Amino acid sequence: QVQLVESGGGSVPTGGSLRLSCSASGGNFRSYTMAWFRQATGKEREVIAVSWRNTGNSYYADSVKGRFTISRDNDKNAIYLEMSSLKPEDTAVYYCGASRQIILSSIFSSNAYGYWGQGTQVTVSS
């Protein structure tokens, strides 16, 4: 079982940047596919970036492609989300999630991840 803790949220103006961090403990980190999700008020949770287990290959939702970068440090048991060119529509609670058994065709399904952090708020002002 893995425990996840996010940090790094905050308030930025449109066009600004933020870096989110997610620290993991309690499992073999390399064997987990890790992901960043977000949930805006009144909307469903959305998977936005994925780091595939072992290889670290990255995948992105179209809504953030070219603006956000996911990375992982297996030695530190951590993943990161570098966010740039932020827009007001990026405002949401951001979560990290983990799964050991997810298949590639399901990586953008939020229900496929069994472990979640508590979330960190990101607010982008216009």
Digit-coded pLDDT (tens) for 60-98: 999 999 999 999 999 999 999 999 999 999 999 999 999
pLDDT at 102: 92
* Model confidence at 1: pLDDT above 90: no
pLDDT at 55: 86
| Phi, then psi, of 84 in degrees rounded to 5 | -135, 170
pLDDT at 56: 86
Residue 89, helix vs strand vs coil: helix
Q: pLDDT band for position 29 (50/70/90)?
A: very high
94-120: per-residue pLDDT in tens? 999 999 999 999 999 999 999 999 999
* Model confidence at 14: pLDDT above 90: yes
Shortest CA distance to 100 belongs to which of 4, 34, 23, 36?
A: 34
